Amino acid sequence: MPRYHTPCMPTEVARYLDCRPGETIVDGTVGGAGHARMICARIAPDGLFIGIDQDKDAIRHARDKLAPWAPMVHLIHANFGHLERVLDDLGIEGVDGVLLDIGLSGHQLQGSGRGFSFTKDEPLDMRMNTDDPTAAADIIQTADVKTLAKIFRDYGEERRAGVFARAIVREREHADLSRSRPLADLIVRLVPRREAARQKIHPATRVFMALRIAVNRELERLQQVLPAAVRRLNAGGRLCVLSFHSLEDRIVKHAFRDMSAGCRCDPRLPACVCDRTPQVRVLTRRVVRPQADEVAANPMARSTRLRAVVKLAAEEAVR
């Protein structure tokens, strides 16, 4: 049975997503259906809920959890990168809200058996969608030093990216690195003990996170979905994104800034030639973090960051 955790920042999500009865809301990352239950309760009985997840376990689990609202619920196994295709297939033009709670579910980390955690000894899979072609073990066993180092550096911001990449390529000549434990052990051996003792996180944290991001092409998908979600929002519709590390948050922040900006022309030009109008208003001037009491009760919420925008009506969208 999947193990899921409490949804992160439920009060803040309720505030910024601001669902009302009868609305159409997309949860692009339905996961353990915690936020989904909250949304369904608010838009019932005449609303429409579209829950998307690329993990089949999550869709199965959500079907159970959302049974009380079954007539108004569509659950779709898909990548949120294909949000517009999902809506087209359902014949839905515009929606009143989109929630994205990026990252791993408690089930994926602790109960999926797919090697997301360096504390377990499991096949190094890390695919959220098990139909995807490339697992983490394929990357570890075949990628060259340059590619591995780039993954660790770009997605994990790992200072020892080159050292780890070279060691993996050497080690895999004679050892099996297709499981999470041997990979985690190798990384631990490469970090001087004194330095490891000073670090707040396990030495393999960044490598595991980087691999997961690469396997699931997480940053690419996030970049893809933000403008797509805004395109499909009705005027006054809200997009609320929860992210878990600085790379994701930077993408969200820049996309929101970009979509809320109007004309970019040189002010010395006599008239605008770029034709850009703001599409959204940013609701969160600064990133919103969870309250201390939530972090105490739910440590998984510790690094959550929330940002939200509201879609402007055509008459508000002036340069």
Residues that bind ligand SAM (CB under 6 A): 4, 7, 29, 31-35, 52-55, 58, 79-81, 101, 103, 105, 128, 221
CB of 16 to ligand SAM, least distance (A): 14
3-state secondary structure of 92: coil
Q: 100 near 221, Cβ under 8 Å? A: no
The one-letter code for the residue type at 305 is R
Cis, peptide link before residue 123, omega less than 30° from 0: no
The one-letter code for the residue type at 231 is R
CB of 23 to ligand SAM, least distance (A): 18
> Is 6 or 199 the residue whose CB approaches ligand SAM more closely?
6
The DSSP secondary-structure symbol of 123 reads B
> Is 34 or 203 the residue whose CB approaches ligand SAM more closely?
34
Using CB positions, name the residue nearest to ligand SAM: 31
CB of 80 to ligand SAM, least distance (A): 4
> Is 55 or 249 the residue whose CB approaches ligand SAM more closely?
55
Helix or strand holding residue 182 (H, E): helix 180-190
Residue 44 — left, alpha, or beta (φ > 0 → left; ψ -120 to 50 → alpha)? beta
Q: Is 200 exposed, middle or buried (0-12, 13-18, 19+ CB in 10 A)?
A: exposed
> Is 181 or 231 the residue whose CB approaches ligand SAM more closely?
231
> Is 35 or 253 the residue whose CB approaches ligand SAM more closely?
35
CB of 138 to ligand SAM, least distance (A): 19
CB of 22 to ligand SAM, least distance (A): 22
Pair of tokens at residue 193? 């003990």
- Hey, which residues does 306 pair with through a beta bridge? 242, 288
